[in-house]
Amino acid sequence: MDPSTVQQMSDLQITDTVNEQPRTQINFPSIPVVPYDRMFPFLIPHIHPDKANELHTLFDKYKRDEIPKATFFLLMIDIVGVQLVSSALAQMQEQQKSNLQVTVNEQPGTQINSGKPVATFYDMYRILAPQIGLDESIDLYFLGDKYQRGEIPASSFLPLMQGIVGEPVFRSAAHTLLNR
* pLDDT tens string 123-159: 788 888 888 888 888 888 888 888 887 887 777 778 8
How does strand 25-26 pair with strand 101-105? unpaired
**pLDDT tens-digit profile of 161-173?**
888 888 888 888 8
**Band of the pLDDT at 34, cuts 50, 70, 90?**
low
Q: Report the C-alpha gap between 81 and 37 in whole angstroms.
A: 16
The pLDDT assigned to 40 comes to: 75
Contacts of 132 (CB under 8 A, 6+ apart): 140, 164, 165, 169
**pLDDT tens-digit profile of 43-64?**
877 888 898 889 889 888 888 8
User: With 0-12 CB in 10 A as exposed, 13-18 as middle and 19+ as buried, what is 4?
Assistant: exposed
User: Under a CB-based contact definition with an 8 Å cutoff, are residues 123 and 101 in contact?
Assistant: no
The closest of 53, 24, 130, 27 to 85, measured between CA atoms, is 130
The pLDDT assigned to 128 comes to: 86
Query: Among 1-5, 12-16, 30-34, 71-75, which is the least confidently predicted range?
Result: 12-16
Which residues are bridge partners to 172 per DSSP?
none
As a whole number, mean pLDDT of residues 78-95 equals: 80
Burial readout 97-131 (b: 16 or more C-beta within 10 A, e: otherwise): ebebbbebeeeeebebeeeeeebbbbbbbbbbbee
How does strand 25-26 pair with strand 111-118? parallel
